[in-house]
Copies of this chain bind each other. A is one copy, B any other.
Amino acid sequence: MKIAILPGDGIGPEIMNEAVKVLNALGEPFELETAQVGGAGYAAHGHPLPDGTLKLAKEADAVLFGAVGDYQYDKLERALRPEQAILGLRRELGLFANLRPAILYPELAGASTLKPEVVSGLDILIIRELTGDIYFGKPRGVRECPDGPFAGQREGFDTMRYAEGEIRRIAHVAFQAARKRSRRVTSVDKANVLETFQFWRDIVTEVHQEYQDVELEHMYVDNAAMQLVRAPKKFDVIVTGNMFGDILSDAAAMLTGSIGMLPSASLDANNKGLYEPSHGSAPDIAGKGMANPLATILSSAMMLKFTFGRLEQADRIENAVKRVLARGLRTPDIYEAGTIKVGTEEMGNAVVAALQ
C-alpha cells in the first residue's frame, strides 16, 4: 500500500501533516513517500509536475494531494503554473472519474447561505468526467479567424469532444454509484445546443439499458444550475462532463457553506486514485495554523475505501470526524458562537484521539 503524499502549496503542507498523522495512527502497513508539486514543484525543480513527482505518482497505489497555487506563481506562463500539475496528473494517470460528494453535516447547517430547510441533510454525489471534454481536446490555440464577420482577426479557440467509450465508462461509474445510494442519476448536458452533449445523452441513455433498477433523468446544465439553488435535495447522483462538472461541483460544494469539509476522489479504471480536498490552497491563511484539515483527512478515508478496500478503516476515520464535530471543535472557517475554536493541529490531533 504505497501512497504518494503531495502536499503542494499554501495550506497544503499543513493540512497534509494532519492527514498523515491520521493515516499513521491506523496501524496499517502504509508506505508513504512525499514529493513536491505545484508551485513547490516549480520552485524546487522548475516544473509544477517534476519528473520525479510524476514517477512517484505512477508507481504508488494512490496519491494523497493537498492543494496547489500561490500568488507568486500567478505571472508564470500557463504551462508552468501550479494548476498544470493537477491537469497533468489527471491525464498521465488516466484519472477519468472524479467523485465529489456535497454533504451537509447536521452540526454545520448554519454555515450555509441557504435556508436550513433547503439544505439540511443534503447528500449529493457529483461524478465529473475528468480527462475529456474541452479540457484536453485538440486543436486549440490562437489563430486567424477563418470566416464570418470577424475573418482575418485573431481568435482564441478550443475543441470540445467526447468519444463513445469515454461516455460509457463514466456512465457506468455513475449508475454503479447510484446503486449504493438512492438509485437516481441525473445526467447533465446541453444537448439542445451542443453536438458533443447530444451524443453524450444518446450514449448515457444506451448504457442505462443495463441499469433498469436505476432511474435516469436528463437535465440541461442551465437548469441544473438553477435546481441546485432551488431544491438541491432532489438530486442523488449527478453525472456530467469535465467543464460542466467543474462549475456544478463547486456550486454544490458551496451550498453546504463548509467546503473545508469536502473530500474528493479521482479514479482510473483500476481504482487507483488521487484524493484531494475540494477546497483550494488558500494562500491568504497559509502558515497560520488555522486551515481546516478535515477535507484532507476525509479524502484519505475515500482512499481507504476506493483504492484499498479497507472499509472499516474508512469508517473509523469518518466516525472520528463526526465525533470531533459533535464535541463542538471547529476550525475558524466553520466556527459559530457556542462552539470551540481550534487550529489545524489541534483538529488533527482530536481526530487521531477520536479514532478509537
Interface residues of chain A, those whose CB is within 8 Å of chain B, are 78, 81, 83, 87, 113-115, 118, 134-135, 137, 140-142, 145, 148-150, 153-166, 190, 192-200, 221-223, 225-226, 228-231, 243-244, 246-251, 253-255, 257, 259
Contacts and interface: CB of A to CB of B under 8 A. Distances in A.
B164 A154 contact: yes
22 contacts: A113-B118, A113-B229, A113-B231, A114-B114, A114-B229, A134-B134, A134-B194, A137-B157, A142-B199, A156-B198, A157-B162, A157-B195, A158-B194, A158-B195, A190-B243, A221-B247, A225-B248, A226-B250, A226-B251, A228-B251, A229-B254, A247-B247
A211 to B, nearest CB: 21
Nearest to A160: B158
Contacts of A164: 150, 153-155
Nearest to A151: B163
B159 A163 contact: no
A165 B144 CA distance: 12
Given A222-B250, A226-B259, 11 more contacts: A134-B134, A145-B161, A150-B164, A156-B197, A156-B199, A157-B159, A157-B195, A222-B247, A225-B248, A225-B251, A230-B254
A195 B156 contact: yes
A199 B157 CA distance: 9
B115 A200 contact: no
B194 A221 contact: no
A159 B143 CA distance: 13
Of A162, A165, A251, A259, most B-chain CB atoms within 10 Å: A251
A240 B127 CA distance: 26
Contact of A251 (B195, B197, B229, B231): B229
Given A83-B192, A229-B254, A160 B145 contact: no
Nearest to A94: B149
Contact of A196 (B156, B226, B230): B156
Q: What 10 pairs between A and B have smallest CB-CB spacing?
A: A156-B199, A150-B163, A156-B196, A155-B163, A157-B161, A225-B251, A226-B254, A222-B250, A229-B254, A158-B160
A261 to B, nearest CB: 15
A115 B112 CA distance: 9
Contact of A160 (B159, B200, B246, B254): B159
Contact of A113 (B115, B197, B222, B248): B115
B230 A250 contact: no
A73 to B, nearest CB: 12
A193 B137 CA distance: 11
Given A157-B160, A162-B155, A163-B154, A193 B87 contact: yes
Contacts of A193: 87, 134-135
Contacts of A162: 155-157
A154 B200 CA distance: 11
Of A141, A158, A159, A230, most B-chain CB atoms within 10 Å: A158
A253 B230 contact: no
A160 B142 contact: no
